[in-house]
Amino acid sequence: MDIPIRHTISFISGFLLLVKFHTVALAVFALSFVMFWVNISSAISKKYVVVLLPVSALLGELFIGEAWSGLRGPMLIFLLKFLSVVLTDDLKIELNDMEQVASVMGYYFHPATMLLGPWIPFSLYKKSIESPSFRISSLLLIIPGAIFLILSTCVSSLFEKSTGWIGEANDTIAFHCSNYYILYFTQVLVLLGGAHTVTNFCNPMKVFFPFELYEVCRAWNYPVHEFLRKHVFLSIKASTSTFKAIMLTFFVSATLHGLNFPIFATLMILGLGSFSEFEFRRKVGTNFNLAGILPSSIQEKRAAKLAKDPPIKKPNDPENAQASDKTFSKAFIQAFINLSFLLLNYYHLFFVGSVFGSHELPMIDTLVVFSMKNWTSPLIIVGMIFYSYFIYSWTKEFLWSIFENAAKSGYADKLIRPFPKNYLRSDGIRDFESLSKDIIGRPSYLKQFLSKNLPKNKHLYKKRVFAKVFLQQKISSSRFGAFCKRRWWPRR
C-alpha cells in the first residue's frame, strides 16, 4: 500500500472515531478547526501561531460551553501535535504538496492517539506508517492497565463516603490510577499501531513514592513532559531565568488543558513546589556536603563525572579515617531529610488532589476547598522559596563576615581552623598574607570568590568559629563572655 494512502486512512479512521464517540457536529467542528489552522500557519509567523492557537481553543471552549467537554481531550492532543509541528525547524507545511498535507492530517487524526492521547512526535508517527513494527509482548501492558482500572473504580468506591484525609487520599489515588490505566491502554494502542516506544508513558512508582516533586511531574506523563521540555522550557530558559522558565512552562501546560481551574491551580502549585524543593535540595546539599539529598538530575551528572574521572585516594591519608567516621551521621541526616520530603510531597499531592472528586469544581469552590485547609501547601512552598533565596543568602553573608573578621584579627592563627588548603605552602606553613590579600580584593559576588579560593570551606558553618570570633570581639570583657570562653574554648 502506498504511503500517502496509509496517511489518508489514518486521517479518515481518526475522524470516524470522533463521530462514533462524540457527535457529527463536534467532529466537523474539530475538522474545520484543524483545517483553518493548517492554512493559517502557512501564512503567518510561528510566534503568532504559538500564541493565537491556544487562545482560539480557549475562546472555543468559552463560547461552546459544556459541549466542549467531549472535545477537551482530543483538542489537547491536537494542540500538542500542531505546536510540535509548527515549532520543528526541519518541517514546513507546503499546501501544494498533497503527500505532506496527507501525512500531517494523518498525524493530527491518528486513531491510536486521537481520543485519549498521549502526544507522540511526528517522527514516531511517520515511522509507524512507513515502517511499522509490531510486538506481541506489547500486549502485556494491558495487565498493569487493568490493575489500575480496577483500583480507580472498584477499590476507590469502597471509600467514596469517607471524609477528611482518608477521603482526600482516596480521591487522589483514584484520580492517579485513572491516569495510569489510560496511559497504559493508549500505549498498547500506539504499539499495535506500529510505533515502537523505548520507555513507558508513565512511571507510577515514582508518583506513589514521591521523594522528589519534580520527578512526580515528570513521571506523570513522559510524552507530555518531553514536549514541554523540548518546545517550551528550553526555549524560554535560553532567554530568562530558570524560575521564570519553570513557571511559564507549567502555565502553558495549564492553558493547553483548557478552562479547568482545578487543573490550573494544581499545575501552578506543583510548579512552585518542584522549583522550591529543587533549590532547597541543591543549595543545602551542596553547601553542607550532603550528596544524598541533591536532586536526582545533579546526582546523575556527578555520578557520570566520577565514573569518567574517579578521584585518587591515598591509602594512609588521615582524611579517609575522618570521612569514614562522619559517614554514618551524614547517612542518617540524608535519610531524615529525604523521608521528610516524602511525607511533605504526600501532603502536597493530597492537598491538590482534594479538588478532583466525582465532578469538576468551579473556581470559587476550588478556592473554598483550599481555604478550608488554610492554604498550608502553598504557604510551605513559599516558605521554602523564601529560605532558599533570602534567608540562605543572608546567613551565608553573615557567616562570611565572621570568617573575614577572624582572618583580619590578631588571633587568626587560632581562630581559622581548619585552615584552607589553597593557602598552605609546600612546607606546610600557613600563608596568611595571601589569604588576607584575596579577602581584601574579593569581588562583591561571594559565591564566585568562595568557589574559586575556598572550596569546601566547611568551617564557615561551625559554631565554634562563630562563638570564638563573636566573643573575642564583642563581649570578651563581660562575665557572660568569660563563661562562654570556658564553655566553647578548649584548654591548651
CA distance 474 to 476: 6
Task: Give the helix ranges, DSSP H, for 211-289.
Answer: 213-220, 222-228, 234-237, 242-256, 261-287
In three-state secondary structure terms, 94 is coil
pLDDT, tens digit, 9 for 90 and up, residues 110-166: 988 888 878 998 888 988 888 888 777 778 889 999 999 998 888 777 776 667 778
> What's the confidence (pLDDT) of residue 424?
78
C-alpha cell recorded at residue 415: 581562630
From the list 357, 252, 251, the residue with the least C-alpha distance to 365 is 357
The amino acid present at 34, given as its one-letter code, is V
Per domain, the residue ranges of the chain are 1-131, 133-202, 213-306+331-374, 410-477
**Counting beta carbons within 10 angstroms of the beta carbon of residue 113, is it exposed (0 to 12), middle (13 to 18) or buried (19 or more)?**
buried
pTM: 0.77
Could you tell me which residues are beta bridge partners of residue 424?
430
Q: Is the pLDDT of residue 309 over 90?
A: no
pLDDT, tens digit, 9 for 90 and up, residues 342-362: 999 999 999 998 888 656 677
Q: Is the pLDDT of residue 29 over 80?
A: yes
Q: Is the pLDDT of residue 485 over 50?
A: no
Length of the chain: 492
C-alpha cell recorded at residue 232: 517550551
- Dihedral over Cα of 95, 98, 103, 105: its sign: positive
Confidence of residue 366 (pLDDT cuts 50, 70, 90): confident
CA distance 351 to 421: 48
